[in-house]
């Protein structure tokens, strides 16, 4: 597996005999750039292809390495300038039916995003470029947009497929889901691959001759639950994630079996630092997220609840907090770094059901004491959570819905216990 640590050690790869690990220590490779890719030729040579430059000066370089050490065996050569547009990125080299193909993205990752390809009888080119993109929706009024940064793979049937990024836009031109990974069949016309179903577009449902089949030598893997209820009876599934690396002792499934127990840290949802947050990606525009929380805060500032979050500047939450010696049910909206509490009411119960409902236009925050009768406490714009509405830093990822706890400036000793979490559509 090869990747880039932009602010750290740069380009490197790691190896394993099993995709589940363990993985080796990083093996660094030289010459910089981003979006590195490995190509293993028939003669045993191994090439690195990477992107360098910016905007209209971006291009792909290529050089040979010793795969055992990462040491360069040749000087880098500029091999690809794309189609003349800006941001030639994500280059990949392939060998198919005796010809070398150089494929890359172009146009940036927004409306002009596209995938282009060239071919040659030599790994360093020159590459004859196909005149049109082999993947794009830039000219279409289609809800799936920004397609590009593709990679090709051949399955065990000899069929070819492409994985690439894209977004599902709303009618208003934004996406709370952010970038997603798409899979599409590859068809070949006169020796040129095209990423579509021979109809010139990518859809959520595509007709193919046959579906890809996993190798029988691969072990079965657990499939992450997309929709349904998580009872917190065992380990968290792969769909769950944290904001930054979790602190030991603040997120536990064993303290009270059948519950996810969280302890708040000093960091809040507004902070770039350690916070207690366990969430999962929103994968449907229309969805609801529900949990049952037991929480009895004892110190002012302690709070816990359910949150939908883009980053520190954009998040909506509903929960229980300690405020001026009282326990309060609250709903709060943070948009472009400005927080607004839209509901506060004193409560005596320590157990509440909380829900966030997502639509194309808004998120609705609701609570219930019995899990049957719900009261909407506030709502916030869906567009304000979208990556397109970023303030301080560019953002590509979509909304994450999760469970959190915080002491708002101090560590909390009050356990926030979540009985279950349900994702429904």
CATH number, position 148: 2.115.10.20
| Cα 237 from Cα 224, distance rounded (Å) | 6
Mean pLDDT over 127-141 rounds to: 92
- Domain residues for the domain of 81 are 2-195
pTM value surpassing 0.85 = yes
Instruction: Give the pLDDT confidence score for residue 140 in this predicted structure.
Output: 85
pLDDT band, very low/low/confident/very high, at 393 (cuts 50, 70, 90): confident
Task: Express the helix, strand and coil content of the chain in percent, nearest 5 each.
Answer: 0, 45, 50
What residue spans of 62-135 are helical by DSSP H? Answer: none
Q: Are residues 35 and 169 in the same domain?
A: yes
pLDDT tens digits for range 236-286: 988 999 999 889 999 999 999 999 999 999 999 999 999 999 999 999 999
Residue 223 within any structural domain of the chain:
no
Cα dihedral 41, 187, 396, 387, rounded to 10, equals: 180
CATH number, position 404: 2.60.120.200
Residue 212 within any structural domain of the chain:
no
Q: Are residues 154 and 292 in the same domain?
A: no
Using the predicted structure, report yes or no on whether residue 224 has a pLDDT greater than 70: no
* Percentage of residues in the chain having pLDDT higher than 90: 82
Residue pair 130/116 in contact (Cβ under 8 Å)? The answer is: yes
Mean pLDDT over 130-143 rounds to: 91
Q: Are residues 189 and 288 in the same domain?
A: no
Q: Are residues 121 and 188 in the same domain?
A: yes
Q: Are residues 171 and 234 in the same domain?
A: no
Residue pair 263/298 in contact (Cβ under 8 Å)? The answer is: no
Residue 213 within any structural domain of the chain:
no
Residue 68 within any structural domain of the chain:
yes
Count of structural domains within the chain: 2
pLDDT tens digits for range 326-379: 999 999 999 999 999 999 999 999 999 999 999 999 999 999 999 999 999 999
Q: Are residues 396 and 332 in the same domain?
A: yes
| Residue tagged 């506060």 (tokens) | 344
């Amino acid at each position: 597996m090869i990747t880039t640590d932009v602010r750290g050690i740069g380009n490197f790869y790691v190896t394993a005999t099993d995709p589940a690990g363990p993985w080796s220590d990083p093996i660094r490779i030289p010459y910089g750039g981003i979006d590195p890719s490995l190509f293993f030729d028939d003669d045993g040579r191994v090439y690195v292809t990477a992107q360098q430059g910016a905007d209209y000066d971006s291009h792909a370089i290529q050089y040979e390495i010793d795969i055992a050490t990462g040491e360069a065996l040749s000087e880098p050569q500029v091999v690809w300038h794309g189609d003349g547009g800006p941001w030639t990125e994500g280059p990949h080299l392939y060998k198919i039916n005796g010809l070398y193909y150089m494929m890359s993205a172009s146009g940036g990752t927004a409306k002009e995003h596209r995938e282009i390809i060239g071919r040659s009888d030599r790994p360093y080119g020159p590459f004859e470029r196909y005149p049109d993109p082999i993947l794009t929706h830039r000219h279409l009024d289609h809800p799936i947009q920004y397609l590009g940064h593709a990679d090709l793979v051949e399955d065990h049937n000899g069929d070819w497929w492409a994985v690439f990024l894209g977004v599902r836009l709303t009618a208003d031109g934004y996406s709370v889901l952010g970038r997603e990974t798409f899979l599409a069949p590859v068809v070949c016309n006169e020796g040129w691959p095209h990423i579509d179903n021979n109809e010139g577009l990518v859809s959520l449902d595509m007709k193919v001759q046959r579906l890809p089949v996993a190798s029988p030598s691969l072990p079965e893997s657990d499939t992450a639950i997309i929709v349904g209820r998580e009872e917190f009876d065992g380990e968290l599934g792969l769909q769950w994630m944290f904001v930054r690396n979790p602190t030991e002792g603040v997120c536990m499934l064993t303290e009270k079996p059948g519950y996810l127990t969280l302890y708040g840290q000093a960091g809040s949802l507004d902070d770039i630092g350690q916070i207690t947050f366990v969430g999962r990606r929103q994968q449907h525009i229309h969805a609801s997220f529900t949990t049952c929380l037991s929480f009895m805060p004892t110190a002012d500032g302690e709070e816990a609840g359910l949150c939908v979050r883009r980053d520190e500047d954009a998040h909506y939450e509903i929960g229980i907090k300690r405020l001026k010696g009282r326990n309060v049910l609250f709903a709060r909206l943070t948009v472009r770094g400005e927080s607004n509490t839209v509901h506060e009411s004193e409560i005596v119960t320590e157990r509440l059901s909380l829900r966030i409902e997502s639509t194309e236009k808004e998120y609705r925050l609701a609570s219930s004491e019995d899990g049957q009768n719900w009261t909407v406490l506030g709502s916030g714009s869906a567009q304000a959570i979208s990556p397109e509405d970023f303030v301080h830093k560019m953002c590509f990822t979509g909304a994450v819905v999760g469970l959190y706890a915080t002491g708002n400036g101090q560590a909390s000793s009050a356990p926030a216990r979540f009985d279950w979490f349900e994702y429904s559509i």
